[in-house]
Amino acid sequence: MMNGMNQAWAMGLSWLIGLIAIAGIIWLIIIVMNQKNELNIRISKSPLDVLKKRYVRGKIGKKEFVKRRSAIL
C-alpha cells in the first residue's frame, strides 16, 4: 500500500515540475521578446533627427529644413 502511494505522489510531482518548466520557458521567451522591442525603440530615430541629419549633410537647404521642421512640430 505504501508503494502505490509513493508512485501516485511521484506522478503528481512530475506533472507539477513539468508545468513549472513550461511556464519558465514561456516567461523567458516573453522577456527576450520585450528586450528586442525595447532595443528597436531605442535605435529608431525621430523624424526631426532624420531631418537635421539631412540638413547637416547638405541634402536639403535652409528653407526646406524650416518648412519641414514646422510641419513636424
- Spatial distance between the Cα atoms of 24 and 51, rounded to a whole number of angstroms: 44
pLDDT average, residue stretch 28-32: 86
How far is 10 from 63, CA to CA, in rounded Å?
A: 77
Give the per-residue pLDDT at 14. 83
pLDDT band with cut points at 50, 70 and 90 for residue 56? very high
CA distance to 4, 25, 29, 31, per residue, from 12 (Å): 12, 20, 26, 29
Confidence class for position 1, pLDDT limits 50, 70, 90: very low
Q: Where are the domains of the chain?
A: 2-72
Scan for cell 506522478, then name that residue. 11
Q: Is the pLDDT of residue 30 over 50?
A: yes
Q: With beta carbons less than 8 A apart as the criterion, state whether 41 and 23 touch.
A: no
How much is the average pLDDT of 50-60?
Answer: 91
